């Protein structure tokens, strides 16, 4: 039996539906969209209330970003600037999201995303699917840069066995710690030990180790394939 969490697939993006008086935060998986939180806004004309509203959204998505999701999609109704207003806030007050090897990709799309039917309709639009593809391409380029750096620093485990050893067993204080579990979609689809791999991915996510499934056709995916299809990146303590 598959672990329960993997019926939803693997994390793909954060979707934030921004309306006049609230925001709905969703985690988009490869198979489903899962609601996370709805954040109310009392008065959009009140600049202090608007600032606190945007900060509440940032706090709501922090746990999702910690597991390695770096694609953020802001949806708002046509002829409104709600999504753009949030993007401007992120640019002005949260540069940590936009810089460095772990930077996020933030995109805007027109549409409502407050209810499951609205999200289902939005995620089926060609424009949304293209955003996911474009954001994934940019994200994997960032991961490829990080992978090459960790290879040069000898901070990469090259097999599922080694990844399990790093992730399942606490590492001694002062020793490198697991930070990323990276694997290709081809490795995930082709393994004969799916239950074992799903368990590894679930435990990694539970321990807030960033877990990413990468398209084998991308540059990063091709490099991962050269390395066996799965790696665990460590970081120095």
Give alpha helix (H) positions in the chain: 47-66, 82-93, 116-123, 126-152, 160-168, 185-190, 194-206, 219-226
State the helix-helix crossing angle for 116-123 and 126-152, rounded to 10 degrees.
Answer: 80
- pLDDT (0 to 100) of residue 237: 76
**Measured distance CA(230)–CA(159) in Å, rounded:** 6
Which residues form the domain of 52? Answer: 4-124
Are residues 120 and 168 located together in one domain of the fold? no
135 inside domain: no
Residues 146, 117 within the same domain: no
Same-domain check for residues 15 and 107: yes
- 137 within some domain: no
Q: Please report, to the nearest 10 degrees, the dihedral formed by the alpha carbons of residues 206, 146, 177, 12 taken in order.
A: 0
Within this chain, do residues 57 and 21 fall inside the same structural domain, yes or no?
yes
Token pair recorded at residue 134: 């474009």
168 Cβ neighbours under 8 A, 6+ residues apart: 203
Q: How many CB atoms lie within 10 A of CB 97?
A: 19
- Cβ(129)–Cβ(13) below 8 Å: no
Q: Are residues 99 and 42 in the same domain?
A: yes
Considering the domain architecture, whether residues 110 and 191 belong to the same structural domain is answered as no
Task: For residues 50 and 101, state if they share a domain.
Answer: yes
Rg (CA), the chain: 19
Residue 15: name the closest of 111, 121, 113, 133 by CA: 113
Contact 83, 24 (CB under 8 A): no
Q: In terms of domains, do 173 and 113 share one?
A: no
| Residue 158 shares a structural domain with residue 231 | yes
Look up the CATH number of the domain holding residue 151. 3.30.1330.30
Q: How many distinct structural domains can be found in the chain?
A: 2
Burial class (CB in 10 A: 0-12, 13-18, 19+), 20: exposed
Q: What's the pLDDT score for residue 101?
A: 63
* Interacting residues of 37 by C-beta distance below 8 A, sequence separation 6+: 24, 25, 60
According to the model, what pLDDT value does residue 1 have? Answer: 36
Is 133 inside any structural domain? no
Q: What is the mean pLDDT of each run of 10 residues along the chain (237 residues)?
A: 53 94 94 94 97 98 84 96 97 89 86 96 94 84 89 94 94 90 94 93 89 88 94 92
- CA distances (Å), 161 to each of 62, 87, 228, in order? 30, 41, 12
Say what the pLDDT of residue 8 is: 67
Judgement on whether residues 116 and 26 belong to the same structural domain of the protein? yes
The pLDDT, as a whole number, for residue 87 is 97
């Amino acid at each position: 039996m598959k672990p329960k969490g993997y019926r939803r697939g693997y994390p793909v993006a954060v979707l934030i539906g921004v309306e006049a008086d609230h925001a709905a935060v969703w985690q988009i998986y490869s198979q489903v969209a899962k609601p996370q939180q709805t954040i109310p806004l009392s008065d959009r004309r009140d600049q202090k209330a608007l600032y606190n509203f945007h900060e509440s959204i940032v706090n709501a998505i922090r746990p999702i970003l910690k597991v390695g999701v770096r694609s953020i999609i802001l949806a708002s109704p046509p002829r409104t600037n709600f999504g753009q207003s949030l993007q401007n806030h992120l640019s002005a007050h949260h540069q940590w999201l936009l810089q460095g090897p772990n930077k996020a990709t933030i995109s805007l799309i027109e549409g409502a995303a407050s209810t499951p039917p609205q999200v289902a309709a939005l995620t089926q639009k060609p424009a949304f699917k293209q955003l996911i593809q474009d954001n994934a391409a940019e994200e994997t380029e960032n991961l490829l840069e990080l992978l090459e750096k960790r290879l040069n620093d000898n901070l990469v485990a090259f097999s599922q066995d080694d990844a399990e050893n790093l992730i399942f067993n606490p590492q001694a204080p002062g020793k490198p710690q697991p930070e990323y579990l990276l694997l290709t979609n081809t490795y995930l689809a082709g393994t004969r030990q799916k239950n074992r791999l799903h368990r590894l991915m679930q435990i990694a996510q539970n321990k807030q180790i960033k877990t990413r499934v990468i398209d084998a056709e991308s540059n990063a995916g091709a490099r991962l394939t050269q390395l066996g299809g799965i790696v665990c990146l460590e970081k120095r303590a």
